[in-house]
């Protein structure tokens, strides 16, 4: 962007949002140029922090007129590189817009702005509404509810309620051309309670990664918090029996949470997880953290997996209104587990051995002790989990990285998540390079098995556009063009790549 245009645009942006809310300083632009993932940095030209819907409209009208890219941003922790401004432009940082517009206890929904965080919601529950809960993800407290829901983020009630996108009642959105639109019951009534039975226009903004507009308000469903709960963890030898157990338990809907995971160097690797072993594992975790000093980092930079079957953890959370209900559910669970694992080696961990109950841990902390965290997050048929995993895990080995995966059934297992994760050290270019190649290869294997990436990085979108039905691709492009005629919204992502 030439200097003259830039200066003129800065002047106009300052008029819209106030000069204290516009930055073009190099250190500031740099901090928005990258995120927690392995993705290459790209610098924005401006960072702008609107404080109201009118200011968002003003910025978008200006950007549309000047054909400047706009990247909606809340806290930048999407783990898909989605707010890295691939083509420069304006980072529209929405964290000043952090109000709760409505808390409807009776109809159990909340209406919030983009800057409202999981921490804000948790605080609200803790201080005023202890009987209510949300499908909190394992994300930091500073993550935005809006961003998580719009990007199909999953939470810890997913087996019952689906992704958080499934629980959107309505939105208010500023179109790239500056118009303000409400969608859902709020568009025709005074209530933000539901999105059906109207034609569902929310899909024009769900999963689009901010390429079709700026959502300025959202209504999300809240759930009961049950007084009795128990978390159980089963360590299973072998990918296939663990996946099968998780899918089948998902179908029963006994558990709020069914998670199947394997992280090497965590408890799932232990053969006998008695208290002594668990304590030893925690010590090992501490030791590994200390290993990450510049002098010793090479000690972990590559990982050659020892031979042997994978140890998988299946985590189950049961919630109930009464002790009797909890006991009945646990008894039933026991029957299923014994039946399903009768020919399998497994070990049920002592209650409480895996740390505090889930709800005390949410929002989550400490997900990236080495500075880097990335994943290929996908959704697809739970029946294909095991096949996919058996093809994906050797890819980790090829790049000498540690195997790590999470599988979660959604809505009783009608579909589910398959997420291949890697924590990595950002200070080692070789490790970062291997992570990049590994993730791209895994994504292809996942697609081959029928799993579709969510929070998909641009290269994953390109691959889907290349593989996809040409008419689907064309429709995406047409929808994008209709809403965003000058392609200003987060360009280089959905609707801006034809494969």
Partner 1 sequence: MDVPDVVKEWSARCAQCGECRAFERLFLPSCPPGHKFKFTGYFPTGRMMIGRGLQEGVLTIEDDDVLERLYTCTACKACDVNCGNLLGGHIVDVIEGLRQMAVSAGCTLPAHQIMIESLKKNDNVLERPKEERGDWAQGLDLKNLAEDGADVAFRAGCMLSFDSDMREPALAALKLLRTAGVDVGIEGKDETCCGGRAYEIGQVSEFTKYAEHNIEAYNSAGVSTVVVSCADGVSHLKLLYPKLNIKMNFEVLHLVEYLDRLIQEGRINFTGKVPMRVTYHDPCHLGRYAGVYDAPRNILHNIPGIELVEMERSREHSWCCGAGGGVKQAYPEFSIWTAQERIKEAIDTGAEALVTCCPWCERNFKDAIKEYGENIEVYDIAEIAAQAIEQEG
Structure tokens at 135: 């499908």
Using rule CB under 8 A, residue 355 touches partner 1: no
Using rule CB under 8 A, residue 112 touches partner 1: no
Using rule CB under 8 A, residue 141 touches partner 1: yes
Which region, judged by CB under 8 A, interacts with partner 1, from 56-64, 287-295, 397-405, 477-485? 287-295
CB of 34 to partner 1, least distance (A): 8
List 365, 398, 466, 478, residue binding partner 1 (CB under 8 A): 365
Nearer to partner 1, 29 or 418 (CB): 29
| Cis peptide bond N-terminal to 221, omega within 30 | no
Q: DSSP class of residue 151?
A: T
Whether 16 and 60 have beta carbons less than 8 Å apart is answered as no
Nearer to partner 1, 118 or 451 (CB): 118
Please, which contacts does 296-305 make with residues 24 or more away whose CB atoms are closer than 8 Å?
297/425, 297/427, 297/428, 300/425, 301/425, 301/428, 301/430, 301/431, 302/400, 302/431, 303/264, 303/400, 303/401, 303/402, 304/397, 304/400, 305/264, 305/396, 305/397, 305/402, 305/403
CB of 49 to partner 1, least distance (A): 6
Exposed (0-12), middle (13-18) or buried (19+): which is 431, by Cβ within 10 Å? buried
Using rule CB under 8 A, residue 371 touches partner 1: yes
Which region, judged by CB under 8 A, interacts with partner 1, from 139-147, 224-232, 308-316, 442-450? 139-147
Rounded Cα distance, 388 and 393, in Å? 9
Using rule CB under 8 A, residue 369 touches partner 1: yes
74-109 burial: b if 16+ Cβ within 10 Å, else e = bbbbbbbbbbbbbbbbbbbbbbbbbeeeebeeeebb
Using rule CB under 8 A, residue 374 touches partner 1: no
Nearer to partner 1, 208 or 370 (CB): 370
CB of 131 to partner 1, least distance (A): 19
From residue 2 to residue 31, the character string flagging contacts with partner 1 as x (rule: CB under 8 A) and all else as - is ------------------xx-x-xxxx-xx
Rounded Cα distance, 60 and 50, in Å? 11
Which region, judged by CB under 8 A, interacts with partner 1, from 135-143, 237-245, 267-275, 298-306? 135-143
Using rule CB under 8 A, residue 123 touches partner 1: yes
Q: Enumerate residues 32-61 that contact partner 1 by CB under 8 A.
A: 32, 34-36, 47, 49
List 143, 148, 169, 211, residue binding partner 1 (CB under 8 A): 143
């Amino acid at each position: 962007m030439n200097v003259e245009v830039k200066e003129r645009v800065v002047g106009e942006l300052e008029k819209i949002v106030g000069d204290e809310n516009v930055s073009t300083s190099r250190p500031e632009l740099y901090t928005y140029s990258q995120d927690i993932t392995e993705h290459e940095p790209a610098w924005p030209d401006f960072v702008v922090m609107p404080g109201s819907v009118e200011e968002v409209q003003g910025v978008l009208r200006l950007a549309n007129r000047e054909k400047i890219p706009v990247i909606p941003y809340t806290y930048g922790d999407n783990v898909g590189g989605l707010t890295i401004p691939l083509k420069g432009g304006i980072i529209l940082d929405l964290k000043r817009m952090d109000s709760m517009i409505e808390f409807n206890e009776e109809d159990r929904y909340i209406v919030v702005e983009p800057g409202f965080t999981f921490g804000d919601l948790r605080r609200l529950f803790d201080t005023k509404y202890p009987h209510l809960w949300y499908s909190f993800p394992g994300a930091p407290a500073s993550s935005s509810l809006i961003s998580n829901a719009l990007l199909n983020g999953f939470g810890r009630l997913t087996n019952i309620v689906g992704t958080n996108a499934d629980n959107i009642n309505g939105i208010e959105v500023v179109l790239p051309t500056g118009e303000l639109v409400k969608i859902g019951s709020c568009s025709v009534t005074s209530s933000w309670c539901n999105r059906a039975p109207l034609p569902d226009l929310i899909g024009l903004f769900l999963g689009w990664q901010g390429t079709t507009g700026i959502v300025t308000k959202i209504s999300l469903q809240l759930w009961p918090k049950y007084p009795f709960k128990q978390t159980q963890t089963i360590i299973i030898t072998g990918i296939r029996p663990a996946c099968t157990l998780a899918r089948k338990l998902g179908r029963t809907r006994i558990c709020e949470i069914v998670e199947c995971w394997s992280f090497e160097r965590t408890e799932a690797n232990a053969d006998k997880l008695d208290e002594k072993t668990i304590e030893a594992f925690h010590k090992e975790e501490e030791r590994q953290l200390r290993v990450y000093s510049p002098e010793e980092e090479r000690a972990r930079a590559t990982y050659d997996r020892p031979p042997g079957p994978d140890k998988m953890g299946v985590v189950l959370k049961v919630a109930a209104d009464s002790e009797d209900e909890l006991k009945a559910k646990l008894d039933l669970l026991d029957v299923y587990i014994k039946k399903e694992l009768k020919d399998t080696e497994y070990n049920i961990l002592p209650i409480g051995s895996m740390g505090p109950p889930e709800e005390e841990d949410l929002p989550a902390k400490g997900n990236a002790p080495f500075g880097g965290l990335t994943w290929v997050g996908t959704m697809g048929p739970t029946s294909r989990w095991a096949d996919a995993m058996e093809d994906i895990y050797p890819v980790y080995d090829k790049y000498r990285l540690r195997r790590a995966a999470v599988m979660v059934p959604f809505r009783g297992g009608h579909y589910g998540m398959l997420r291949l994760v890697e924590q990595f050290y950002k200070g080692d270019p070789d490790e970062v390079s291997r992570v990049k190649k590994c993730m791209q290869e895994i994504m292809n294997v996942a697609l081959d098995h029928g799993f579709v990436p969510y929070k998909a990085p641009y290269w994953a979108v390109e691959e889907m556009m290349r593989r996809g039905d040409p008419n689907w691709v064309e429709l995406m492009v047409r929808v994008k063009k209709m809403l965003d005629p000058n392609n200003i919204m987060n360009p280089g992502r959905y609707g801006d790549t034809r494969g």
